[in-house]
């Protein structure tokens, strides 16, 4: 992991020692009980009998031995390791006990640690300590949670980049540029009678322009970043019998939606998750949109309309053998044309020519039955959301909290530029720059309000 370039919010190392299972609940080959804090080594030596007596705990070395209760009852054969402060995840003394993966054993070892003076860790408290002790900035701490939760290769890659400090470095660069601007402006705050002269004003404008452009470029990655992280909501829409369920199954590679010959059978919404090129997708196969007297089907149609207006991408499926019919036009009218990918299905049968009002939509021709054209469909789905570069090195902004703060920073910098043009008082110019700096500091953790910090760490699991 790249070192954190600047020291962040620090606090004296916590006085108490926390304990929690670091591994998920349930049976497994091993489980890990983790302690962090000044008493962690002492608690370990009270409970742990090394196999080879008097073996010293050299740093970061696993030692084989047994956990024994104070009354002499053997509990489990384990491996234990001591990470000496500050060379640990939390920067405190950290001890890990690798025991057998039985939930009762884990509970018993945690109880013994509690009896020996530790207290139960809160959710995310290990990572919170790492953050407070300057081991991670806030973006990196959040990346830890993202990495644990990520459901796709793309989101894993993004979380790892963030953990490596990519976002931190970008934000640190912006902050440095703002600090330079502020230094230039503040010289004049002390001499208010002197106007900022033309050449300097030009320099400030150019630097601010440059900075705004860089912030803007990073902000522009958000839509694709959000999709890479949370998944793309794709609606498969079309009238009955055009082959929506068959298409869903062909994309999934399994027969999950029921394929029948009776029109209108896909009455409810079926949601399936899959990855294309590492990008997570949530595919919904929906009822077609049409006027219907059947109440259940009418409800399905209503839900489909809702989905059609909110989906990231609509695959509008048309039976290419029959050609476009009025019901297909009704379906298209429920969608935002910019987010529609036209899928001409049944390419294995003779095709009708495409009518003019559908001809300008981005289009792929497939046969869900033979699988022809499916690879082009996958690629077209990725390009429709500009996620085709997901495997590359570029960094995507993916967290709404980061985006909102960066937007505020960009706005404050633009306000600074406008003020500079209008010749407003220097102290107001400095205020805009400070607002921008504060907004950026919220991303990395320096100026994040405590309640937001609390909310972020409360979202972690216990033991992380
Ligand atoms: P849905 O009602 O739109 O979900 O359509 P289905 O997937 O249930 O398919 C309706 C009928 O069309 C079934 O008999 C499928 O076997 C058939 N079908 C689906 N895709 C193709 C295709 O690409 N070629 C041909 N020839 N038939 C298809």
β-bridge mates for residue 79, sequence order: 64, 98
Centroid of chain to Cα 251: 24
Q: Is the CB of 240 inside a 6 Å radius of any atom of ligand 1?
A: yes
Q: Is the CB of 206 inside a 6 Å radius of any atom of ligand 1?
A: no
Whether domain 18-137 has CATH 3.30.1360.120: yes
| Under 8 Å between Cβ of 464 and 145 | yes
Burial (0-12, 13-18, 19+ Cβ within 10 Å), 205: middle
> In which order are the strands placed within the sheet that holds 94-101?
48-50, 63-68, 74-83, 94-101, 28-36, 18-21, 119-120
| Under 8 Å between Cβ of 272 and 252 | yes
Measured from the CA of 260, which atom of ligand 1 is nearest?
8
Q: Is the CB of 369 inside a 6 Å radius of any atom of ligand 1?
A: yes
Backbone torsion region of residue 421, taken as left when φ is above 0, otherwise alpha when ψ lies between -120 and 50, otherwise beta: alpha
Q: Is the dihedral of CA 428, 434, 436, 438 positive or negative?
A: negative
Q: How crowded is residue 255: how many other Cβ atoms within 10 Å of its Cβ?
A: 12
| Under 8 Å between Cβ of 80 and 86 | no
Backbone torsion region of residue 243, taken as left when φ is above 0, otherwise alpha when ψ lies between -120 and 50, otherwise beta: left
- The closest alpha carbon to 148, from 318, 22, 242, belongs to 22
| Under 8 Å between Cβ of 337 and 249 | no
For residue 295, what are its two tokens? 């109440």
d(CA 245, CA 232): 19
- The closest alpha carbon to 187, from 206, 203, 166, belongs to 203
Residue whose Cα lies nearest atom 11 of ligand 1: it is 241
Q: Is the CB of 244 inside a 6 Å radius of any atom of ligand 1?
A: yes
Q: Is the CB of 345 inside a 6 Å radius of any atom of ligand 1?
A: yes
Ligand 1 centroid to residue 71 C-alpha, Å: 71
Q: Is the CB of 245 inside a 6 Å radius of any atom of ligand 1?
A: yes
pLDDT at 10: 42
- Mean pLDDT split into 10-residue runs, the chain, 464 residues: 40 78 93 97 94 72 94 96 95 97 97 97 94 94 90 86 94 96 83 70 91 95 85 87 89 60 53 81 72 62 75 92 91 86 96 90 95 93 69 81 97 95 89 96 92 88 80
pLDDT at 31: 97
Q: Is the CB of 129 inside a 6 Å radius of any atom of ligand 1?
A: no
pLDDT at 301: 67
**Multiple choice CATH, 229-389, 3.20.20.70, 2.40.40.20, 3.40.50.300, 3.40.50.620:** 3.40.50.300
CATH architecture assignment, domain 151-221+397-442: Up-down Bundle (1.20)
d(CA 40, CA 43): 5
Helix residue ranges, H only, 191-346: 198-219, 222-230, 244-252, 295-310, 326-333
Beta-strand pair 279-285/270-276: antiparallel
- The closest alpha carbon to 171, from 229, 218, 133, belongs to 218
Q: At what angle do helices 125-132 and 450-458 cross, to 10 degrees?
A: 140
| Under 8 Å between Cβ of 282 and 307 | no
Cα distance from N-terminal residue to C-terminal residue, the chain = 17
Q: Which residue among 368, 370, 371, 374 is best mutated to probe the pocket of ligand 1, counting the most ligand atoms within 8 A of its Cβ?
A: 368
- CA 11-12-15 angle, to 5 degrees, is 125
In which residue are the tokens 């390791």 written? Answer: 81
Measured from the CA of 258, which atom of ligand 1 is nearest?
8
Fold agreement between 151-221+397-442 and 229-389: no
Centroid of chain to Cα 309: 24
| Under 8 Å between Cβ of 102 and 25 | no
Cis preceding-peptide flag for 86 (omega within 30 of 0): yes
Residue whose Cα lies nearest atom 14 of ligand 1: it is 261
d(CA 399, CA 150): 13
Residue whose Cα lies nearest atom 13 of ligand 1: it is 261
Residue whose Cα lies nearest atom 26 of ligand 1: it is 346
| Under 8 Å between Cβ of 284 and 234 | yes
d(CA 361, CA 306): 21
Q: Is the CB of 260 inside a 6 Å radius of any atom of ligand 1?
A: yes
- Quickly list DSSP for 30-57: EEEEEEESTTHHHHHHHHEEESSTT---
pLDDT at 3: 41
Q: Domain segments of the chain: what residues?
A: 18-137, 151-221+397-442, 229-389
14: DSSP letter:
P
């Amino acid at each position: 992991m790249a070192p954190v370039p600047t020291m962040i919010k620090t606090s004296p190392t916590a006085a108490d020692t926390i304990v929690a299972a670091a591994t998920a609940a349930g049976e497994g080959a091993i489980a890990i009980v983790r302690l962090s804090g000044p008493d962690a080594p002492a608690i370990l030596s009270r409970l742990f009998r090394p196999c080879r007596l008097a073996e010293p705990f050299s740093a970061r070395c696993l030692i084989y031995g047994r956990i024994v209760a104070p009354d002499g009852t053997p509990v489990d054969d384990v491996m234990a390791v001591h990470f000496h402060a500050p060379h640990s995840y939390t920067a405190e003394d950290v001890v890990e006990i690798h025991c057998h993966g039985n939930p009762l054993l884990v509970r018993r070892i945690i109880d013994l640690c509690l009896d020996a003076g530790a207290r139960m860790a809160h959710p995310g408290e290990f990572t919170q300590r790492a953050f407070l002790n300057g081991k991670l900035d806030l973006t990196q701490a959040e990346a830890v949670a993202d990495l644990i939760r990520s459901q796709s290769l793309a989101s894993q890659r993004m979380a790892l980049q963030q953990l490596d400090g990519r976002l931190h470095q970008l934000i640190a660069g912006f902050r440095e540029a703002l600090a330079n601007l502020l230094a230039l402006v503040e010289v004049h705050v002390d001499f208010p009678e002197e106007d900022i002269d033309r050449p300097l004003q030009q320099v400030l404008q150019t630097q601010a322009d440059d900075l705004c452009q860089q912030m803007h470029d990073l902000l522009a990655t958000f839509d694709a970043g959000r999709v890479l992280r949370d998944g793309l909501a794709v609606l498969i829409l079309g009238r009955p019998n055009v082959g929506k369920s068959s298409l869903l199954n062909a994309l999934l590679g399994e027969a999950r939606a029921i394929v029948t010959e009776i029109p209108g059978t896909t009455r409810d919404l079926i949601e399936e998750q899959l990855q294309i090129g590492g990008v997570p997708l949530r595919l919904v196969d929906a009822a077609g949109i049409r006027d219907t007297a059947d109440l259940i089907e009418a409800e399905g149609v209503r839900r489909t309309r809702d989905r059609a207006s909110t989906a990231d991408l609509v695959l509008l499926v048309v039976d290419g053998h029959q050609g476009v019919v009025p019901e297909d036009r009704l379906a298209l009218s429920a969608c935002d044309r910019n987010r529609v990918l036209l899928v001409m299905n049944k390419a294995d049968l003779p095709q009708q020519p495409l009518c003019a009002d559908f001809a300008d939509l981005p289009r792929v021709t497939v046969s869900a039955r033979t699988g022809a054209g499916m690879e082009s469909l996958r690629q077209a789905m990725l390009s429709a959301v500009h996620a085709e570069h997901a495997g590359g090195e570029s960094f995507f902004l993916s967290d709404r909290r980061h985006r909102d703060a960066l937007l505020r920073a960009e706005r404050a910098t633009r306000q600074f530029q406008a003020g500079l043009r209008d010749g407003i008082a220097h102290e107001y110019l400095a205020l805009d720059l400070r607002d921008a700096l504060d907004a950026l500091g919220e991303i990395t953790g320096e100026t994040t309000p405590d309640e937001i910090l609390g909310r972020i760490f409360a979202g972690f699991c216990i033991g992380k």
